[in-house]
Amino acid sequence: MSSVAFIALALLAAGSDLRSRRIANELVLVILAGGMVYQGLSLDGLAGAGVGFALLILPFAARWVGGADVKVLAAFGAWLGPWGALLGGLAGIGLGGALAVAMAVKGGIGREALGNLHAALVTISAPTAPRRDRGLVVPLAVPLAVGCTLVWFGVLS
């Protein structure tokens, strides 16, 4: 039963982000609460949420990801515990990077993105991302949900 709940909540978050590039706070709270209950209100759930939060807070500060992405990974982390949150988060971030490259190439901004990456590597700095049209924003909840689901089912451990 818990797998059904996890998958349903992951699909809702991913679908919402894909459809509107937004994830309602109420949905994030339901995912977080479900994870805490699943973990028996233990420190594993809290630690998992903390790891999920920690993975994306610096990219959020640099405006590379949105606040909902930080919150949803923290909520998934409550289900997975600290090690699962780390593995699922890193897998999701990697998948999200691949999705970002595909979207940049498809959207015709591949050269601009490569120029920004080159400048960042040469200056050893991480420039803040400019605000983009919502259509060009990577729906990061999708790859995060995939990465966390892979951990949930033991594909990544």
Establish if 157 belongs to a structural domain.
no
pLDDT tens by residue, 1-19: 899 999 999 999 999 999 9
Establish if 9 belongs to a structural domain.
yes
Q: pTM of this prediction?
A: 0.84
Establish if 14 belongs to a structural domain.
yes
pLDDT tens by residue, 107-143: 766 566 666 666 666 666 555 555 555 456 889 999 9
Number of domains in the chain: 1
Establish if 69 belongs to a structural domain.
yes
Cβ atoms of 73 and 93 closer than 8 Å:
no
CB-neighbour burial class of residue 68 (10 A; exposed 0-12, middle 13-18, buried 19+): buried
- Domain range for residue 52? 2-152
Establish if 86 belongs to a structural domain.
yes
Q: What is the pLDDT of residue 104?
A: 77
